[in-house]
Structure 1
Amino acid sequence: MSHPKVSICIPTYKQPDFFRRALQSVFVQSFDDYEVIITDDSPDESVEHVVKEFQPNIKLKYYRNKERKGSPENWNEAIRLASGEYIKILHHDDWFPDKNSLIEFVKMLDENPNADFAFCSSLVCGPDQKVKYLHLPTEKQLSKLRSSSNYLFPKNIVGAPSATIYRSKLNKRFDIRLKWVVDIDFYISVLKDNKNFIFCSNPLVCTTDGAPHQVTSECQNDKNIELFEWFYLYDKIKKYPIIDFRNFVFFWNLLYKYKVRSVGEIKELGIQFPPQILEAIVQLQKILCTFR
């Protein structure tokens, strides 16, 4: 049995109108050597009803989770079920803006066998589909990323997972302990194994920003989530005991945002981090706060 070139993985959770738009953008693609893997984490049948609108379609493979997996394990489930040479994640509220989007994604890897990972710029849109801005890393940022995958900490210049495509042979999964910085962690892991990546400046995908149903809306400004995940990721990528000025300022601002005044408050969140660095950040924060 032959496998498709691309597995388009669409992890879903309710929001049938967004999901319908995503599917519509897939089925008009000029490149057709693909399968669509849908993993449904919904508590109702709203997603399933949309799937039925597009059936019968041999490219469409729908799976309803028996128990809710949550994000990002629902993403992982779609990846596990994929059989394509390439993995193309498309979140259910994102979509391809052009019929040639998918073929351009595929070309990036087909024409660059030394790279396992590719990404594009993206049109970031509001829930009303109006473009808010173009997510486009600068040449300087791309150069720094080529030098070190850790450059993604703390700024995600890649963008949303929908802006990426990678070879399934990497056998990578998203860290289920994370929600807020899960994409950054994934990209760093992929690029540590092979620093070669391909970038397309054309926006091959539209991503949704600011919708109330999104995980980002749930995590943003949540002290426990943000503090835990940023310190957890920093520990995971093994950058300490040396902390550069850019990251020092980042952590100082993070602690200032949440009015954290002591190392003990951070430790209460179960965060493992070199105490000397934490103490230095906290002390600097106390000094600088007098000038604000």
Structure 2
Amino acid sequence: MGLPLVSIVIPAYNRPHTLEIAIDSVLEQTYPNIEIIICDDSTDDRVQEMLVPYLHSFPQIKYHKNERNLFLENWHKCFDLATGEYINYLMDDDTLHKEKIAKMIFFFNEFENITLVTSYRQTIDESGQFLPPIGATARLYEETRILDGKMLGNVALTRCLNVIGEPTTVLFRKKDLTELYGVYKGKQYSLINDLAAWLSLLSKGKAVYIPEALSYFRRHPNQNNNTLGLKAFSEWLDIMIASREDGFLDTNALFKTALHSYRERVRNYHQFVEDIMRIDRILTSLE
């Protein structure tokens, strides 16, 4: 075709109904050269059974059922099996706008040193109805912007919010992600594995932000982040500190803003007493 192959990779887990909706949104893409990689970490066969007619009709869909539960390693398996030049993760409860890939890949083709393209994402409920944005999903800009990668990373870090987007939101070149997905500076993140990947990419180049809703982020009680536990939020403090090695939060003022944002988020929870003490020690050392 002459167009680079894009791999849409889906780490699936026990959600055949929403997975079917997600797959349909990929099959409706206006960009023609796409493969779909599904790595199934489910505890039963419902996903596999739902996929039977798809696998018969669409050769671009590749399905792999894990022999054991891989959890975060399933994300790595998806990445390894992808053969495309570009990768877009797709959560099995999210969906894509039909022009998402076409509109995003334009920027890789037309501009240099782009390592990440993201957009506004529309929040939806369990039945697909639109929801108002939450803090992290609020529209960042009203116009399309090409941004210094470290500047966009700093926006997320200083707010202690993943304003860049969930895994579904971002398109990137496979070769640009040199650490495993969700690994940053040698540490595997779980709650913010997406942000870990984005910082790795943003440290290498520029980002594009598109204000159109090019993906749909489903919010429901059974989301993976709701099962990881409150203590996993400590990952934010770890990644703030680690990010300075890559030139994020490169002034004491930015670093202090990030630390205070984190402190404000956790100050009413007794589980974070040690984190607050750690922040106090860091702030004292910066004086």
Partner of 2:161: 155
Structure 1 spans left out of the alignment, 5+ residues:
281-292
Partner of 1:231: 237
Larger Rg: 1
- Aligned CA distance change for structure 1 residues 240 and 144 (closer, same or farther; 3 Å): closer
Partner of 1:29: 29
Instruction: For 1:275 and 1:257, locate their aligned partners in 2 and report how far apart those are by CA, in whole Å.
Output: 16
Instruction: For 1:105 and 1:139, locate their aligned partners in 2 and report how far apart those are by CA, in whole Å.
Output: 17
Instruction: For 1:36 and 1:46, locate their aligned partners in 2 and report how far apart those are by CA, in whole Å.
Output: 19
Task: Output the TM-score relative to the length of structure 2.
Answer: 0.81
Pairing of 1:61-76 with structure 2 (within 5 A): 61-70=62-71, 72-76=72-76
Asked if 1:214 corresponds to 2:223, the answer is yes
Q: Tell me which stretches of 4 or more aligned residues in structure 1 moved more than 6 Å.
A: none
2:268 maps to amino acid? K
Partner of 1:277: 282
For these two proteins, the number of residue pairs brought into alignment is: 267
Instruction: For 2:215 and 2:272, locate their aligned partners in 1 and report how far apart those are by CA, in whole Å.
Output: 42
* Cα root mean square deviation, aligned: 3.1
Per-residue CA deviations over 1:143-198 (Å, capped at 9, x if unaligned) read 6866363332122221111111001111342227322222222211111111x112
> Are 1:145 and 1:151, in contact at CA under 8 Å, matched by a contact in 2?
no
- Aligned CA distance change for structure 1 residues 48 and 261 (closer, same or farther; 3 Å): closer
Match of 2:236, SS?
helix
Q: What is the deviation of 1:241? A: 9.8
- Aligned CA distance change for structure 1 residues 77 and 223 (closer, same or farther; 3 Å): same
Per-residue CA deviations over 1:62-116 (Å, capped at 9, x if unaligned) read 011122111x322221111101011011111111233x33322222322224312
> Are 2:182 and 2:190, in contact at CA under 8 Å, matched by a contact in 1?
no
Match of 2:171, SS?
strand
Partner of 1:178: 189
- Aligned CA distance change for structure 1 residues 101 and 149 (closer, same or farther; 3 Å): closer
Q: What is the deviation of 1:274? A: 7.0
> Are 2:8 and 2:88, in contact at CA under 8 Å, matched by a contact in 1?
yes
Partner of 1:84: 84
What's the % identity of the aligned pairs?
21
Instruction: For 2:271 and 2:47, locate their aligned partners in 1 and report how far apart those are by CA, in whole Å.
Output: 42
Instruction: For 1:241 and 1:151, locate their aligned partners in 2 and report how far apart those are by CA, in whole Å.
Output: 14
1:33 maps to amino acid? N
